[in-house]
Chain A
Amino acid sequence: MNFEIAELVAVAPEITLLSLACVVLLVDLFICDSCRIVTWLLTLGSLLVTAAVVAMGMGGESQILFSGSIVRDAMGDVLKIAILLITTMVFLYSKEYQQERGLYRGEYFVLGLFGVLGMMILVSTHSFLTLYLGLELMSLSMYAMVALQRDSARASEAAMKYFVLGALASGMLLYGISMIYGATGTLNVGEVANAIQLQSGDQDLNLVLVFGLVFMVSGIAFKLGAVPFHMWVPDVYHGAPTSVTLYIGSAPKIAAFAMVMRLLVDGLGGLVVDWQPMLIILALLSMAFGNVIAIAQTNLKRMLAYSGISHIGFLLLGVLSGTEAGFESAMFYAITYALTSAGGFGMILLMSHRGFEAEEISDYKGLAKKSPWFALMMLILMFSMAGVPPTVGFYAKLAVLQQVISVDLVWLAVAAVFFSIIGAYYYLRVIKTIYFDMPDEDAVASPQFGLDPAGLTLSANALVVLVLGLFPGQLMMICQSAIG
């Protein structure tokens, strides 16, 4: 039993967020409905303070703490800051939407904060046990957030589907973990890697390991939303209130990327020849199905859901290359995708108002005439998702493709480009609707540029996407130093 105060300092961000979330929970109990803005401000404050605490503790050697439960390293710190900042944006976007729909309640903020805590634990996990607990903390908060709109049958259905399928995925992941535990006798990620290294070549052991690996990859694919484990994604994205869709569709993707890294690369890196083909299949199917089915969607939320599936395929391309540079490109992709996705759903939030969800693509007809500024922002975001230069989406795709080619999987890169071109169609269709279609006569008023938080956040978000596309070097360098 050895315990040092230094260990507590290293997990200061998690402790800070947990305490602040409890403060938000308690403060919200005692304030009246009209001063709910206090909860909102406190939530934003908690996220920013936690981000500052992470930033202060950055640098130095990576440390493994609490008897190997968690690890604090450069990758974890960078991903945590990205998660915290993107979630701050999510709350900035969703204030007005929540107010108009009776969802502006303390539970939403508390669940959101605890979800972020789960993501942070997931990012810094160094043991299968903490990984599972972090994953459940994140997922439970998200199930509840989807269901918060109780009077909506669609939201309840989405929450139910999400919950049941999510529980199934957790079960598969756990079964895989139990197999790996049976084969290596430890839950610690580092020790698992050592055990695999030592016993490589043992056929009997390998059978057990690969059997566990299959279940683990299935569980991960479920959480990522990769085809063929993607069934829940469109229904949940569509059924949940848009503010919750925004939450689910952005920061958790970064956490899921971290989960892939910790499990497959840090833990089961010795089995790369076994998981590489599995990820190739997942990536190919995700890019193919995601992009092709998205073409048929008339609902913007569903379209973005399928687009999200195809982006997960691209993200997996970076991981499956199995090189350090590949992981860097995948990390870059995860962060920039979360940013772009936040912008896309943020636009829906901004456009919608009381009694009008702005979900259909046709709702955006002639937006360029009514509010040229936001139309331009949407143009940047759609270009970024499609991968059109000079936005960041182009650079992210380029970086991933370079790594795929560098490990001699040229055919895979060609397929990825082919499906991206198919995908470009539906992103450009949104732009065409905005710029070249005539607005309907009875169209409702669209947002004008003002000083409201959502509008400012969207402008900042889209401009960051553009600036990162012009100068990707800085973020790429951060990713390089984080993985290297």
Chain B
Amino acid sequence: MTSVLFYLFSAILLFAAFRVISAKSAVHAAIFLILAFVTTSAIWLLLEAEFLAITLVLVYVGAVMVLFLFVVMMLDMNMEPLREGFTRYLPAGILVAATIVFEMGIVLGGRYFSSENFPAPVPHGSDYSNTKELGEQLYTTHLFSFEVAAAILLIAIVAAIGLTFRRRVESKKQDIPHQHRVDRNDRVRMLDIREESVS
């Protein structure tokens, strides 16, 4: 049963991944990417990695891809120029890809990675929480790496703001303290207009 599900999800995943790069419109590509993420998370569930599977759906599908779709729709990209020369580069691409697949086949299909060397893991009981296990690993064994990852996120924020933030001159932002400090002379000019005799 599990292996039937595994092959089913794998087939959907491969199809979705292929459609991501072959879809004509960027919106379709993004939606196929969502499909790829959801099926990946299903495969992870089969592997008993429940926490990671849920995180993948929550973070990638729920947050990242929604933002991504939003940006893709806003930008109204023309994908045609990106596809230029596709057929010209195709033979070289296929050659390189085939070589790499062949080499990987030799290594991964070799005797070292045979199923005798890597027996299937014993499934854990229902009282086993891999979320707890993950948290404990993260804050003990991998504490240092965890902190460095935090620094990387901080740098990503600084870099993103530094690269995109531009103080706009035409901005209509209110400066409240400035508005409060206004006094009459800034706004009203008293003119001394002499009466003119009406003739």
Interface residues of A (CB under 8 A from B): 1, 3, 11, 18, 22, 25, 65-67, 69-70, 105, 107, 110-111, 114, 117, 121, 127, 129-130, 133-134, 136-137, 140-141, 143-144, 147-148, 150, 179, 182-183, 204-205, 207-208, 211
Contacts and interface: CB of A to CB of B under 8 A. Distances in A.
B152 A111 contact: no
Contacts of A204: 110-112
A120 B149 CA distance: 14
B136 to A, nearest CB: 8
Contacts, number: 85
Interface in B118-175: 136, 140-145, 148-149, 151-152, 154-156, 158-159, 161-163
B107 A140 contact: no
A141 B145 CA distance: 18
B152 A133 contact: yes
B163 A148 contact: yes
Contact of B142 (A25, A69, A140, A207): A69
B152 A140 contact: yes
Q: How large is the interface on B (under 10, 10 to 19, 20 to 34, 35 or more residues)?
A: 20 to 34
B107 A207 contact: yes
Contacts of B156: 140
A1 B142 CA distance: 11
Nearest to A105: B162
B158 A137 contact: no
Contacts of A141: 155, 159
A202 to B, nearest CB: 8
Given A110-B158, A133-B148, 6 more contacts: A114-B151, A137-B151, A144-B159, A144-B163, A207-B112, A208-B113
The 9 closest A-B pairs by CB, nearest first: A107-B162, A144-B159, A204-B112, A66-B144, A69-B144, A133-B148, A67-B141, A204-B111, A211-B107
A3 B111 contact: no
B169 to A, nearest CB: 15
B48 interface: no
A360 B149 CA distance: 41
A375 to B, nearest CB: 37
Contact of A133 (B107, B112, B149): B149
Contacts of A143: 159
Contacts of B148: 121, 130, 133-134, 137
A140 B163 CA distance: 13
